[in-house]
Amino acid sequence: MLEVAHIRENKEAFAKALSKRNIDAATLLDQVIAADELRRNSQSQLDEVLADSNKFSKEIGMLFKSGEAQKANLLKEKTAGLKEQSKTLQEQLNTATEELQNLLYQLPNVPHDSVPEGNSDEDNEEIFREGDIPVLHDAALPHWELAKKYDIIDFELGTKITGAGFPVYKGKGARLQRALISYFLDKNTAAGYTEYQVPHLVNEASGFGTGQLPDKEGQMYHVTEDDLYLIPTAEVPVTNMFRGDLRSHSELPITCTGYTPCFRREAGSYGAHVRGLNRLHQFDKVEIVRIEHPDKSAAALDGMVDHVKTILQELELPYRILRLCGGDLGFTSHLTYDFELFSTAQDRWLEISSVSNFLTFQANRLKLRFKDQDGQNKLAHTLNGSALALPRVLAGILENCQTPEGIKIPKALVPYCGFDMID
CATH value at residue 80: 1.10.287.40
The answer to whether residue 270 scores a pLDDT higher than 60 is no
In this structure, of 61-70, 130-139, 308-317, the range with the lowest mean pLDDT score is 61-70
- Is 64 in the same domain as 163? no
The answer to whether residue 121 scores a pLDDT higher than 80 is yes
Give how far Cα 130 sits from Cα of 8, 149, 319, 341, Å. Answer: 44, 30, 6, 10
Q: Is 390 among the domain residues?
A: yes
The answer to whether residue 336 scores a pLDDT higher than 70 is yes
The answer to whether residue 244 scores a pLDDT higher than 90 is yes
The answer to whether residue 272 scores a pLDDT higher than 60 is no
- Is 179 in the same domain as 270? yes
CB 391 within 8 A of CB 280: yes
Q: Tell me the residue range of the domain where 362 lies.
A: 121-422
User: Of 76, 105, 134, which closes a domain?
Assistant: 105
- Is 239 in the same domain as 331? yes
Q: Is 114 among the domain residues?
A: no
- Is 126 in the same domain as 67? no
- Is 43 in the same domain as 160? no
Q: Is 360 among the domain residues?
A: yes
pLDDT digits (tens, 9 = 90+) for 345-396: 999 999 999 999 999 999 999 999 999 999 999 999 999 999 999 999 999 9
Q: Is 115 among the domain residues?
A: no
User: Of 53, 70, 105, which closes a domain?
Assistant: 105
Position 82 scores a pLDDT of: 74
Q: Which of 303, 328, 288 is CA-nearest to residue 194?
A: 288
- Is 55 in the same domain as 173? no
Mean of pLDDT values over 306-311 = 98
Position 69 scores a pLDDT of: 64
- Is 317 in the same domain as 256? yes
- Is 92 in the same domain as 129? no
Angle formed at CA 261 by CA 381 and CA 326, multiple of 5 degrees: 45
Q: Which of 264, 251, 331, 339 is CA-nearest to residue 293?
A: 251
Position 268 scores a pLDDT of: 52
Domain containing 317 — which CATH number? 3.30.930.10
- Is 174 in the same domain as 303? yes
Q: Is 111 among the domain residues?
A: no
Q: Is 116 among the domain residues?
A: no
User: Of 105, 136, 169, which closes a domain?
Assistant: 105
Q: Is 138 among the domain residues?
A: yes
pTM of the prediction? 0.92
Position 77 scores a pLDDT of: 65
Sorting pLDDT into bands at 50, 70 and 90, what band is 73? low
Position 81 scores a pLDDT of: 72
The answer to whether residue 67 scores a pLDDT higher than 90 is no
The answer to whether residue 70 scores a pLDDT higher than 80 is no
Q: Is 113 among the domain residues?
A: no
pLDDT digits (tens, 9 = 90+) for 3-58: 999 999 999 999 999 999 999 999 999 999 999 999 999 999 999 988 887 777 77
- Is 92 in the same domain as 163? no
- Is 96 in the same domain as 125? no
The answer to whether residue 71 scores a pLDDT higher than 90 is no
- Is 101 in the same domain as 129? no
CB 292 within 8 A of CB 368: no
Position 85 scores a pLDDT of: 84
Q: How many domains does the chain have?
A: 2
